[in-house]
Amino acid sequence: MAAGFQAVMDKLKIIGQRALHGTVQASGAKNAALPLMAAALLTAEPVLLHNTPQLMDVRTLSKLLRSLGAQVEQQGDALRIDAAAVDHYEASYDLVKTMRASVLVLGPLLARFGQARVSLPGGCAIGARPVDQHIKGLQALGADIVVEHGYIVARVATPSGRLRGAHITTDMVTVTGTENLMMAAALAEGETLIDNAAREPEVVDLACLLRRMGAQIRGEGTSQIRITGVPRLRGATHRIIPDRIEVGTFLCAALATRGDVTVQGADPAHQDALLDKLREAGAQITTGDDWIRLRADALPAGRPRAVSVRTTEYPGFATDMQAQFMAVNCIADGAARITETIFENRFMHVQELVRLGAQIDIDGHTCVVRGVPQLSGANVMATDLRASAGLVVAALAAEGQTLIDRIYHLDRGYDAMEVKLRALGADIERIKTSPGA
């Protein structure tokens, strides 16, 4: 906890209006790394993950896996997980409340060991975010589940002691829900069909690792995933896909500062919805196999054009890019509507952007952003992970100094963000405040 507590105190100081220029390397995807790490629980043989991002959520899940009895070793961007000696089956409230993706251990523990006890995540800054679909799906696979004392207590109730395949249709598209069910079904008896499955690239990446481990999966990347369970899975080596949200954040920062940035190690095929919107805003985009270049140093009006977006499941515009894209709209020419359809309370950054001089009206799930020629630096507070990234984009474009407090939210999901931005020419500095100061 010491490192976490230290990070709680850190702030980011940004002096804005420096155009970003140059090349930056994308890290591996946080939202792929977490399910892939959880999948290592499905086998007694080691799983080796390359391109692992170095960030707090990965450290939190490593800690959780160790508390279950797994060995987790990180060397650079390689993470080796050996779950041979796992003999605990509980994810405590202390861990789950800091990172709700901890619920991803539920499916694998249940499938391999026949039992799991995982804390309910509780509320979070961006809304209620229940896990009822994870529970319902696992029940359909034969698990006996009760919720008591704030914990999901699950046991396999079938005569063979293994989960059994089932046809599951989730009530809504859920990313970690789909992943939990895929992992559980991989070791179940018989065939599982997941309908209304999430199509995110991170789900596809998980299917890719599971297949390397010996799982039989078809249909990943579509809304119908078919899994034929096998009695056991083996170890595997896998390279994590690029973090499309980190990539998108750099592209928004480049556009907001009217810069010229190339992001290396990206997968343009995962960014279609965002790239379309960035082009609409006036950016020149070029792509190669593993890079994306955004040029905004010669915008016709000297400013991006206002562009409306509506967040939806993949392949639509990602909710995790909403705050950063709103920041671009804050300094755009014209007015845009930003509609959030995935989470109920994901406009916490709006009042902070207003402190920077943005003109934004909220009406339920929609914001109307009227672009202003210039934002002005101020002291602001990060409220959740992607909201923090939105504030960074806005601060980079603003005139004068912005101090962003509570950047532990940012550290949860971005690998060395200020170091990467500084290399692109940003005036950005982490202010470390010692605990108790």
Q: Any catalytic annotation for residue 124?
A: yes
Q: Please tell me the chain's helix, strand, coil percentages from 3-state DSSP, rounded to the nearest 5.
A: 35, 30, 35
* Interaction of residue 101 with ligand UD1, rule CB under 6 A: yes
Give the x/- contact pattern for ligand UD1 in 183-222, rule: CB under 6 A.
Answer: -------------------x--------------------
- Which of residues 31 and 192 has its CB atom nearest to ligand UD1 in the complex? 31
Q: How far is the CB of 270 from ligand UD1 (least distance, A)?
A: 13
- Kindly state the tokens that stand for 254: 């480049």
* Interaction of residue 131 with ligand UD1, rule CB under 6 A: yes
Q: How far is the CB of 86 from ligand UD1 (least distance, A)?
A: 21
- Which of residues 119 and 174 has its CB atom nearest to ligand UD1 in the complex? 174
Phi-psi bin for 174: left (phi > 0), alpha (psi -120 to 50), beta? beta
- Which of residues 186 and 198 has its CB atom nearest to ligand UD1 in the complex? 198
In sequence order, which residues have a C-beta less than 8 Å from that of residue 345 and are 6 or more positions away?
125, 126, 127
- Kindly state the tokens that stand for 90: 């509980």
Pairwise CA distance, residues 386 & 407, whole Å: 11
Catalytic option among 124, 208, 252, 367:
124
Member of 73, 94, 132, 361 binding ligand UD1 (CB under 6 A): 132
Q: Is 139 helix (H, G, I), strand (E, B) or coil?
A: helix
Give the x/- contact pattern for ligand UD1 in 299-338, rule: CB under 6 A.
Answer: --------------------xx------------------
- Selection from 308, 317, 307, 373 nearest residue 342 by Cα: 317
Q: 411: part of which helix (H) or strand (E)?
A: helix 408-413
Strand partners, 366: 339, 363
DSSP summary character for residue 144? E
Residues between 5 and 44 that touch ligand UD1 (CB under 6 A): 31, 34
- Which of residues 201 and 229 has its CB atom nearest to ligand UD1 in the complex? 201
Q: Using CB under 6 A, which of the segments 174-182, 297-305, 353-361, 391-399 binds ligand UD1?
A: 174-182
**Segments in 232-376 forming alpha helices (H):** 244-256, 272-280, 322-330, 350-355
Q: Residue numbers of the site for ligand UD1 (CB under 6 A)?
A: 31, 34, 101, 127-134, 172, 174-177, 202, 319-320, 342-343
